[in-house]
Structure 1
């Protein structure tokens, strides 16, 4: 049996056909979101293509439907039944309130994109087998998700998991949600030019200068990583996860991120009885949203 996962982003529509039991990726597809076709139709064609491939590779004695679940990952807040995106202003006009199950003529489970990344890692990735997981996506902004007692926690109005919007500096500027000095503004790529006083326009540029020993770059980067550690420790105190997973483009810094982060965690983490919370880099890359969407749908139907 198979599941289909679709990740609907502003640039790409990514699709994956995967086995329900092992999470093996049988086929992957990429289509531009704004190509020759309407993006809704492009999603429909991606699902149809994955369905056709599933029919080709299924056992010859299997006469039933090969697709057990369909999940779709998208930016925004899903509705209470996870059948559409209820709130996503300013991006992908027409996404809000669009019922994917009616459009595709099949049950479709819709999940926030950061929540999808969490589901991918907890079902088939570095947090497999853990019942309490905290994930942070470190990229243009900072998103996140929570797995509580083995289930995705979405909270009231499906807003839970906006972990980038906790305060790590009460004297900082207000972020897009109105909070002062948020974790997102402390390390997200969107604020790098502001944080570096205009010297760098990307985290990549900052890290290149950091590696070369530039004192200013080192100050900017280590200040950001310190605030990340403070944020993680605060979240650990709130939720006591089995593991913290970091995903997103900034994690490509590898040791330049993990070594200073570990030092700051040693300084700030509360460790009763010597217990430390492991921090792991996500296993899945740019297909995490599609894999997580399929994983969420599997959880809902199995």
Structure 2
């Protein structure tokens, strides 16, 4: 058996080939061409052909990670307005000629960690993706929890400041996504910084405003993690995404705030760790999801 995982992103189509044991055999990139009429579909097909030609044996199934919400059968994306026209309702199994399982891109990142990475020995885990916005995924009894309408895991849209009038794209006031997402840095820093990278570099230099803005963001993340731990009691919380590249500038103050806010009855403490996989996480997780449907 062999499985293909594909991550349909805004910039690149990323593909990976794994065997039944989960060994990663090949990976490849192609440009997405999101703005070209239908070219992104052709590029996904070309990715499959490339990996098929490398394997030169029958393939079992394909996993496809994409933005948006899939249907209950994980056969297509049913809701993704404003991106990749034609994606909604597109049946990939018919187009690619193989069983194809479609899942949300943040869910795929969690499946990468659950199948091969930081959550592979966990029954219950959470993943938060910290980047332009904040996404996530929930693992319950070693299974991806997708919920009603496959909406579960949108952890960036929990509120950490309910009286704040700033609303997330899901309509939540004072969302975690606004508190730490890269998209809101300029507003949170009164125009002083334009990216998390600039903000963190100034924080490292001891800049007072940068220190205030950054530590306020990390405090909000700690409060969110503590709240999610109270609700779901995971064994691990895994942090992924570009903001985690801040390394100790993120994890040291985060641990300090968690020491204040996390409830630890009997000394039990939720592990907070950095994700094992980087920019191929979506493709790896999609392949792992397809493999799970057939191997278990």
How far apart are the structure 1 equivalents of 2:287 and 2:231?
29
Three-state SS of the structure 2 residue aligned to 1:127 is coil
How far apart are the structure 2 equivalents of 1:25 and 1:81?
26
Equivalent of 2:89, from 92, 97, 118? 97
Deviation at residue 71 of structure 1 after TM alignment:
0.2
Deviation at residue 68 of structure 1 after TM alignment:
2.2
Asked if 1:207 corresponds to 2:206, the answer is no
Match of 1:253 in 2: 246
Match of 1:165 in 2: 157
Q: TM-score, normalised by structure 1?
A: 0.95
Match of 2:46 in 1: 45
Asked if 1:275 corresponds to 2:265, the answer is no
How far apart are the structure 1 equivalents of 2:53 and 2:121?
32
Equivalent of 2:129, from 123, 137, 160? 137
How far apart are the structure 2 equivalents of 1:126 and 1:170?
32
Match of 1:54 in 2: 55
Deviation at residue 10 of structure 1 after TM alignment:
1.0
Match of 1:232 in 2: 225
Match of 1:109 in 2: 101
Match of 1:154 in 2: 146
Matches within 5 A, 1:22-37: 23-34=22-33
Match of 2:61 in 1: 69
Equivalent of 2:293, from 285, 296, 300? 300
CA RMSD of aligned residues (A): 1.1
Q: TM-score, normalised by structure 2?
A: 0.97
Deviations along 1:103-154, one digit per CA (max 9) or x if unpaired, are 0111100000000000000110111111101000000000000010111000
How far apart are the structure 2 equivalents of 1:208 and 1:164?
24
How far apart are the structure 2 equivalents of 1:40 and 1:239?
38
Q: How many residues align?
A: 292
How far apart are the structure 2 equivalents of 1:106 and 1:30?
20
Q: Which runs of 5+ in 2 are unaligned?
A: none
How far apart are the structure 2 equivalents of 1:237 and 1:107?
38
Deviations along 1:221-255, one digit per CA (max 9) or x if unpaired, are 00000000000000001111110000000000000
Consecutive aligned runs of 4 or more in structure 1 exceeding 6 Å deviation:
none
Three-state SS of the structure 1 residue aligned to 2:252 is helix
Match of 1:62 in 2: none
- Is the CA contact (8 Å cut-off) linking 2:60 and 2:99 kept in structure 1? no
- Is the CA contact (8 Å cut-off) linking 2:107 and 2:137 kept in structure 1? yes
Matches within 5 A, 1:68-87: 68-87=60-79
Match of 2:237 in 1: 244
